[in-house]
Amino acid sequence: MDHKPGRRRTKRLKAMQHVQTVALRLFDQNGFRAVTIEQVAEAADVSESSIYRYFGTKEGIVLADPDFPNQVLSTDASPVAERGAGQTDQELVDRVQSTLVTALNTRARDPIVQDRLRYLVEVPDLQAALALDLHRRIRELTHMAGGDGTSGSMSFDAEIAISATYGAVLGALQHWRNVGFEAPLDELLDRAIERINTGLAADDSTADTPSDRCRE
């Protein structure tokens, strides 16, 4: 049996993790914008071409998850997006939400993942890159949902629900970072998903409405 593909993948994984660790240390020391790919390559003792091959861009060093290729912070739900026979939109949304929550609860206690989350919260360039990547992933999900690769295979309501799910999950992660990773992440994620599924109820019936403020 040929084990070379497995060995190559393990070697690549270790190399990516090493580059990511070194880069995050440099970002901490000098700031994200000040650090160049050349500096990361020199500090990690790898070629610049290897970094571009592994991550594509400097932003990719933070966004990419070496343990889960082609995923962003372990939030790629596309493997479950292929609609099975008779699967409803709600079942599809439930599967996407379940996959996101399970992956994040499994991985987010990793210190490297926490460092990446910190930079995503703090660096506008990374927030923009993440937004573009998530937009691409949501488009992919809408195409995959029907299993035939054509557009329009997911209902409008399901597409909005999945888009909102990604936003809610990222909001929960940002809150988790802002409280120093002390709050139970599973509870934050469950609450975020619940808000998507049930809608945001008005908790304070005495709150001013826009019309009330206009009359003042």
pLDDT per position as a tens digit, 154-188: 677 877 888 888 888 888 988 988 898 888 989 99
Q: How far apart are CA 9 and CA 68, in angstroms?
A: 12
Domain with 40 in it: what CATH number?
Answer: 1.10.10.60
**Predicted local distance difference test score (pLDDT) of residue 151:** 44
**In-domain check, residue 213:** no
Q: Which position has the higher pLDDT, 89 or 189?
A: 189
Q: How confident is the model at residue 81 (pLDDT cuts 50, 70, 90)?
A: low
Q: How far apart are CA 162 and CA 142, in angstroms?
A: 9
Same domain, 80 and 168: yes
Same domain, 110 and 143: yes
Average pLDDT over residues 18-35: 95
Q: Which of 95-99, 154-158, 206-210 has the highest mean pLDDT?
A: 95-99
Domain final position from 64, 85, 103: 64
- Average pLDDT across the chain, whole number: 78
> What are the structure tokens assigned to 74, written together?
């372990």
**In-domain check, residue 118:** yes
Domain final position from 21, 44, 64: 64
> What are the structure tokens assigned to 115, written together?
């460092």
**In-domain check, residue 207:** no
Cβ–Cβ < 8 Å for 16, 54: yes
Q: Which position has the higher pLDDT, 210 or 164?
A: 164
Whether 200 shows a pLDDT value over 60: the answer reads: no
Domain with 191 in it: what CATH number?
Answer: 1.10.357.10
Q: How far apart are CA 99 and CA 89, in angstroms?
A: 16
Torsion angle of the four alpha carbons 68, 127, 131, 100, in this order, in degrees rounded to the nearest 10? 40
**In-domain check, residue 45:** yes
Average pLDDT over residues 115-144: 81
**In-domain check, residue 71:** yes
**In-domain check, residue 78:** yes
Q: Which residues contact 88 (CB under 8 A, 6 or more apart)?
A: none
Same domain, 33 and 120: no
Characterize 69-108 residue by residue with b for buried, 16 or more Cβ atoms within 10 angstroms of its Cβ, and e for exposed: eebbbbbbbbebbebeeeeebeebbbbbbebbbebbeebb
Instruction: Give the residue numbers spanning the domain of 114.
Output: 65-200
Q: How far apart are CA 68 and CA 1, in angstroms?
A: 25
Q: How far apart are CA 74 and CA 176, in angstroms?
A: 16
Same domain, 3 and 91: no
Q: How far apart are CA 129 and CA 8, in angstroms?
A: 29
Same domain, 133 and 168: yes
Average pLDDT over residues 119-123: 86
Q: How confident is the model at residue 87 (pLDDT cuts 50, 70, 90)?
A: low
**Predicted local distance difference test score (pLDDT) of residue 137:** 74
**In-domain check, residue 206:** no
Q: How far apart are CA 63 and CA 57, in angstroms?
A: 10
Same domain, 157 and 183: yes
Same domain, 89 and 167: yes
**In-domain check, residue 161:** yes
